[in-house]
């Protein structure tokens, strides 16, 4: 496993926030659900649903944003674990695999248990597994060797983390799987890091033209992948957040589009913007209504405005370049 040691620098930066211990209750709850679903440990591999080529293309198009934003992260994380006998997998919210990247030798063996695009790894189809169980539990999980409910999957060691859109809805799962003999504790930290990177990329592209607040309990984490981020409308309504933002502000999916800035912080949005102008780019110390102090920066978007074009009967008085309003006073 020497090649995985190349990931140690990346993993170390997440070690404090991304603990390497998963809840064993996840496994026992999953096994109970499998029994209730009528699955047996001896069930053969061919019973589970699988996309046709056309269905896979349609599913990939439906989740195009997820796939586009996930690919660079998958490529980067995989470059850290290349030649370690692992495969990275991306699934949709129903457990269907959309994308994979992995070592050829392990991919060949993984294909024998349908760890490949188009296969469904929902828990009720394939028993306890990191992808399907993470979807149900809604949290990162490791499933190692005999913890898999179906015996023919017991050679696998898998770590997976759910992916959530800025509005709080489930998008899918990112997974790293390998032979259980090659299991490494860094894998859990890496998959959680990958999930946060993907979610942050989706947040940024979703709210490219909106005001954003970036914050953390420590000013040293501002600008890092660990910072919280919140998108606001012009009147201060919450439009979305990244995972850290949800956690630090205590938001739920039902708060999106309903809560306002002043309900979360101890000042109005106007007061914040005034304070931000005075800060001249320095982080602002701000109190949450629930008591904690956050360090925060404001990212306002200034888009050039195109003045209304003259009607066909009017003669333009300026050239086309002068019609572009830069927004300057």
Maximum alpha-carbon separation in the chain: 81
**Alpha carbon distances (Å) from 234 to 21, 80, 272:** 42, 41, 13
Q: Quote the CA–CA distance of 42 and 156 in Å, as a whole number.
A: 16
Residue 138: both structure tokens together: 């809604």
Q: Indicate the residue among 205, 229, 252 that finishes a domain.
A: 205
**Structure-token match 């200034």, residue found:** 302
Q: Quote the CA–CA distance of 269 and 285 in Å, as a whole number.
A: 14
Q: Looking at the structure, do residues 172 and 295 belong to the same domain, yes or no?
A: no
Q: Looking at the structure, do residues 165 and 214 belong to the same domain, yes or no?
A: no
Q: Looking at the structure, do residues 192 and 225 belong to the same domain, yes or no?
A: no
pLDDT in tens, the chain (329 residues): 333 333 333 333 333 333 444 567 889 999 999 999 999 999 876 678 999 999 999 999 999 999 999 999 999 999 988 888 899 999 999 999 999 998 877 878 788 788 899 999 999 999 999 999 999 999 999 999 999 999 999 999 999 999 999 999 999 999 999 998 877 778 999 999 999 999 999 999 999 999 999 999 999 999 998 999 999 999 999 999 999 999 999 999 999 999 999 999 999 999 999 999 999 889 999 999 888 999 999 998 755 444 444 444 444 444 433 333 434 43
List, as one string, the DSSP characters of 34-79: HHHTT--TT--GGGS-B--HHHHHHHHHHTHHHHHHHHHHHHHHHH
CATH number of the domain where residue 192 is located: 3.30.450.40
- Please state the domain count of the chain: 2
Q: Give residue 19's pLDDT.
A: 40
What is residue 307's DSSP assignment?
A: P
Q: Looking at the structure, do residues 110 and 131 belong to the same domain, yes or no?
A: yes
Q: Give residue 320's pLDDT.
A: 36
Q: What is the CA radius of gyration of the chain?
A: 23
CATH number of the domain where residue 228 is located: 3.30.450
Q: Looking at the structure, do residues 270 and 234 belong to the same domain, yes or no?
A: yes
In a domain, 312, yes or no: no
Q: What is the SS3 string spanning 311-329?
A: CCCCCCCCCHHHHEECCCC
Q: Looking at the structure, do residues 55 and 168 belong to the same domain, yes or no?
A: yes
Q: Indicate the residue among 156, 188, 205 that finishes a domain.
A: 205
Q: Give residue 110's pLDDT.
A: 80
Q: Which of 179, 176, 173 is nearest to 88 (CA)?
A: 176
In a domain, 319, yes or no: no
CB atoms within 10 A of CB 136: 18
Q: Looking at the structure, do residues 220 and 107 belong to the same domain, yes or no?
A: no
Domain hosting residue 78, numbered range: 23-41+49-205
């Amino acid at each position: 496993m020497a090649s995985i040691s190349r990931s140690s620098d990346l993993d170390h930066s997440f070690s404090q926030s991304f603990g390497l211990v998963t809840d064993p209750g996840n496994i026992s709850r999953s096994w109970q659900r499998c029994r209730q679903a009528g699955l047996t440990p001896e069930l053969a591999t061919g019973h589970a649903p699988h996309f046709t080529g056309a269905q896979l293309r349609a599913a990939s198009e439906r989740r195009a944003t997820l796939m586009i934003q996930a690919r660079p992260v998958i490529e980067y994380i995989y470059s850290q674990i290349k030649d370690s006998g692992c495969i990275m997998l991306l699934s949709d919210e129903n457990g269907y695999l959309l994308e994979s990247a992995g070592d050829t030798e392990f991919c060949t063996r993984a294909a024998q248990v349908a760890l490949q695009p188009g296969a469904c790894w929902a828990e009720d189809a394939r028993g306890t597994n990191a992808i399907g169980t993470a979807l149900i539990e809604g949290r990162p999980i490791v499933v190692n060797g005999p913890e898999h409910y179906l015996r023919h999957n017991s050679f696998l060691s898998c770590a997976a983390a759910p992916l959530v859109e800025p509005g709080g809805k489930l998008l899918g799962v990112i997974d790293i799987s390998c032979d259980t003999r090659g299991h490494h504790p860094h894998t859990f930290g890496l998959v959680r890091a990958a999930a946060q990177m993907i979610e942050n990329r989706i947040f940024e592209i979703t709210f490219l033209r909106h005001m954003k607040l970036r914050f953390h309990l420590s000013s040293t984490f501002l600008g890092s992948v660990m910072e919280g981020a919140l998108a606001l409308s012009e009147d201060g309504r919450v439009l979305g957040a990244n995972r850290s933002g949800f956690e630090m502000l205590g938001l739920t999916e039902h708060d999106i589009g309903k809560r306002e800035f002043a309900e979360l912080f101890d000042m109005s949005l106007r007061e914040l913007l005034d304070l931000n102008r005075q800060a001249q780019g320095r982080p602002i110390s701000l109190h949450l209504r629930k008591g904690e102090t956050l360090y925060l920066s404001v990212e306002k978007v200034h888009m050039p405005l195109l003045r209304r074009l003259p009607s066909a009967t009017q003669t333009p008085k300026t050239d086309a370049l002068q019609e572009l309003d830069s927004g300057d006073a």
